[in-house]
């Protein structure tokens, strides 16, 4: 463990050197653009914080806003490094650069607020293939100890009632009354399952006996 602490990390050393140089270049550019004193030191901190916030948001979910603010912060840091490499006269900074430097705090505040308070995009669900269990083979069971079911005995045929010979002295009955009696007989058969008798039909109709006998003769009731 002590040997690991004594051995310097090349990546960490490189990060410290690059951060210090970028920090100094941003400070020099801000001072040349008219931001003197502590304000010139605040610009590198603002740029680096926006860059780190955008990078952390990219690690959570790669949305368009994260890439936009990461590109803006990287362009500001890279532009300051290039501008202080002798390509720009720091004694005579152009007006457009002064405007960009002066407007950077508001832009950095907007970007940092959107990166922190905008909900992260949901992670894409992993495509999982459900495990399919092989279906058990169907087995048909046949019992050999079950006695065979006997076939149902055929019901004896129903004997039609013997026709009643109409007497010659029965009165003539209107067709409507015969139809009414037939409907009563049909209803009785559906309800009880048995044909109606002449006595029951006479009680239902409430007509004189000869008339009911004539109707029963026409309906062939016993």
Task: Please give the Cα distance from 39 to 34 (Å, whole number).
Answer: 9
Token couple for 202: 């006479």
DSSP run (H or E) holding 78: helix 64-82
* Residue-level length of the chain: 222
Q: Where are the alpha helices (DSSP H) in 33-63?
A: 38-60
Q: Average pLDDT of 82-95?
A: 79
Contact 172, 214 (CB under 8 A): yes
Q: What share of the chain in percent tops pLDDT 70?
A: 72
Residue 102 is given by DSSP the state H
DSSP run (H or E) holding 198: helix 198-205
Angle CA 57–61–63, to nearest 5:
90
Token couple for 181: 């009696």
36 has pLDDT over 60: yes
Phi (first) and psi of residue 94, to 5 degrees = -65, 160
Question: What pLDDT sits at residue 151?
Answer: 61
Phi (first) and psi of residue 135, to 5 degrees = -70, 140
Q: Average pLDDT of 74-82?
A: 85
Question: What pLDDT sits at residue 134?
Answer: 60
Burial tier of 43 (Cβ tally within 10 Å: 0-12, 13-18, 19+): buried
Of 4-18, 63-77, 182-196, which gets the smallest average pLDDT? 4-18
Q: Average pLDDT of 171-180?
A: 77
Residue 128 is given by DSSP the state -
**Does residue 214 sit in helix, strand or coil?**
helix
Burial tier of 196 (Cβ tally within 10 Å: 0-12, 13-18, 19+): buried
Q: Average pLDDT of 158-162?
A: 58
């Amino acid at each position: 463990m002590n040997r690991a602490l004594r051995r310097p990390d090349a990546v960490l050393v490189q990060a410290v050197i690059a951060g210090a140089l970028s920090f100094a270049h941003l400070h020099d550019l801000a001072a040349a653009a008219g931001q003197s004193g502590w304000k010139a030191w605040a610009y590198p901190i603002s740029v680096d914080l926006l860059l780190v916030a955008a990078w952390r948001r990219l690690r959570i979910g790669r949305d368009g806003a994260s890439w936009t603010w990461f590109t803006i912060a990287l362009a500001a840091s890279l532009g300051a490094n290039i501008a202080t490499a002798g390509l720009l006269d720091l004694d005579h900074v152009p007006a457009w650069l002064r405007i960009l430097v002066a407007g950077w705090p508001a832009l950095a505040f907007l970007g940092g607020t959107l990166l922190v308070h905008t909900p992260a995009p949901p992670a894409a669900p992993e495509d999982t293939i459900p495990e399919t269990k092989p279906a058990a083979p169907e087995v048909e069971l046949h019992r050999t100890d079950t006695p065979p079911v006997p076939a149902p005995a055929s019901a004896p045929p129903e004997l039609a009632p013997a026709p009643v010979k109409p007497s010659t002295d029965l009165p003539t009955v209107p067709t409507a009354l015969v139809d009414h009696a037939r409907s009563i007989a049909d209803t009785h058969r559906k309800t009880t399952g048995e044909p109606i008798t002449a006595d029951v039909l006479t009680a239902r109709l409430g007509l004189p006996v000869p008339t009911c006998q004539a109707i029963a003769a026409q309906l062939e009731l016993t």
